[in-house]
Amino acid sequence: MDILQKTHTITVILLLIMPLTTQAQKNFFEVPSGEHVETSEFFAQMQATATTDDINTMAAVTYGLGRRADIGITFNQWDFQRGQGIVRDPEHPEQSPDILINAQKAFVVNNHLIVAAGLRSGVNGVGSRSDVRFADFNYVTGRVEWGMHAIVAGGYFANRAYQGAGAPVGIMAGLDLSLLPNALHLIADFTSGNSALSTTDAGFEVQFLKEWHVALGVQLPHHGADTPVGGLLQISWN
């Protein structure tokens, strides 16, 4: 087991033993929700996208700083291919692992509207010194809430090391509909463009034991996007 696999394994173990008093956000599959982590609380999340060729994984832990700001670390694009282990491909950085700092600041405009600005920035190509590069994703979103439902829309910038080839600027949107209060949600999101980020995702999120959120969905790539159809599994802790 090389250093990449050891790092990812340790991260997964840490997430599994996180205390169940962490503070959760409502999350879409790929698009930031615009919500913040409460002061001195933690939010933890893992996601896996399974295709016919590989399993792409993500793990993140975020800490609430107060004043609707939070910061954390994200292990992104840890792509396990059959018979090859973790992928490192300098020609396709979107398939190489990232270690990123994630940060966000939210601003409450009124009882229904929240504006948030955030980033995920760090290194891409971890594990190969000659191919390490700066990966960067920045976004601004507006979140409208009514009852237990929400819609998010905004724009993003992503460099090539983060998303691979494709337009660096685009729009994104998300939908969270409560079907059964505190039990079942329909969630969906959309990211424009023709890069590896450019997908429409949809599925259902189930909440149980108050602390656990498990979502199952499907990833549908847009025309021109170098991303296959896949199944999504997302696990979050409140």
Domains and CATH numbers, the chain: 3-237 (2.40.160.40)
pLDDT at 17: 44
Could you report the per-residue pLDDT of 189-218, keeping only the tens digit for each? 999 999 999 999 999 999 988 789 999 999
User: Is the CB of residue 135 less than 8 Å from the CB of residue 123?
Assistant: yes
- The pair of structure tokens assigned to 105 is 């600041």
pLDDT at 89: 76
User: Is the CB of residue 87 less than 8 Å from the CB of residue 53?
Assistant: no
- Note the Cα 104 to chain centre separation in Å: 13
- Show the low-confidence residues of the chain (pLDDT under 50): 1, 3, 10, 13-26
pLDDT at 158: 97
User: Is the CB of residue 49 less than 8 Å from the CB of residue 64?
Assistant: no
pLDDT at 19: 40
DSSP bridge partners of 48:
57, 233
**What's the predicted TM-score (pTM) here?**
0.86
- The pair of structure tokens assigned to 26 is 């409502």
Strands 85-86 and 54-66: unpaired
How far, in Å, CA of 128 to CA of 188, rounded?
35
pLDDT at 93: 83
pLDDT at 211: 83
Q: Which residues contact 145 (CB under 8 A, 6 or more apart)?
A: 112, 113, 114
pLDDT at 129: 63
pLDDT at 84: 77
